[in-house]
Copies of this chain bind each other. A is one copy, B any other.
Amino acid sequence: MSVMTVYGDSISGNCHKVKFVAERLNLPFRWVETSVLKKETRTPEFLALNPVGQVPFVMLADGRGLAQSNAIMLHLAHGSTLIPDEPYERALMMQWLFWEQYSHETVIAVRRFHRHYLKKADSEIEPSLLPRGEKVLTLMNDHLANRAYFVGELLTLADIALVAYTRFSHQAGFDLKQWPQVRAWVARVEKDLGVESALP
């Protein structure tokens, strides 16, 4: 029997999302480590699989490919409680998924990559990423003031997408002690997912 293959980089929050959902739903998969830093996403072999040259990329058990972390999560989690049944709650989950890719990943993940992996000094990193990151975390903290999860009463894909890089905020230069609701929510989601906490 063939199983799904996940092409992923172990340092990438976007790739962790796929792993978290597959493990949560007991979906068997094979992980093929594919390093962005070693340019393994730019080889002719990988570009033949995914012309966009990004991980995560999955080859489903039936041999058909799929890219984009949030699209992969949505496909794997179809019919599970990770996607709300109620139409408006599902719409809010989608709203957070698009916000995550447009406004969160592009700030927190990018600053983390330059700081923690490319080992740049703060002065060498695009200065706007600092205030933008503070704004992102403040918006999340305010939203979580009276909520355990981003949408409704249960863990959804919105939490999994947002926790993926938020749990590494310290590597991006943000101390989550300044955003206590976010910190408590990260710990809650990590516990739900059964993963070791990344919080310092």
Interface residues of A (CB under 8 A from B): 51-52, 60, 64, 66-72, 74-75, 78, 87-88, 90-92, 94-95, 97-99, 101-103, 105-106, 139, 142-143
Q: Which residues of B contact A143 (CB under 8 A)?
A: 51
Given contacts A52-B103, A66-B95, 19 further A-B contacts (CB under 8 A): A51-B142, A52-B139, A60-B88, A64-B88, A68-B99, A70-B94, A71-B92, A71-B97, A72-B91, A74-B94, A75-B87, A75-B88, A75-B90, A75-B91, A75-B94, A98-B98, A101-B102, A102-B102, A102-B106
A151 to chain B, nearest CB (A): 11
| Chain B residues near A70 (CB-CB < 8 A) | 94, 98
A115 to B16, CA, bound (A): 38
Complex A-B: 11 CB contacts under 8 Å: A51-B142, A52-B103, A67-B99, A68-B95, A68-B99, A70-B98, A71-B94, A71-B97, A71-B98, A74-B91, A102-B105
Q: Is the CB of B94 within 8 A of A68?
A: yes
Give min CB distance, A141 to chain B, whole Å. 12
Interface pair A67/B95, CB less than 8 Å apart: yes
Q: Would you call the interface of chain A mostly helix, strand, loop, or mixed?
A: helix
Q: For the complex, give the distance between the alpha carbons of A71 and B64 in Å.
A: 25
Complex contacts, A51 vs chain B, CB 8 Å: 139, 142-143
Residues of chain B within 8 A of A97, CB atoms compared: 71, 98
A47: shortest Cβ distance to chain B, in Å? 11
Q: Which residues of B contact A92 (CB under 8 A)?
A: 66, 71
A99 vs B106: C-alpha distance when bound (angstroms): 13
A98 touches B68 (CB 8 A): yes
Question: In the complex, which residues of chain B have a beta carbon less than 8 angstroms from the beta carbon of A99?
Answer: 52, 67-68
Q: Could you say which residues of chain B place their CB within 8 Å of the CB of A72?
A: 91
Q: Are B95 and A98 in contact (CB under 8 A)?
A: no
A41 to B84, CA, bound (A): 29
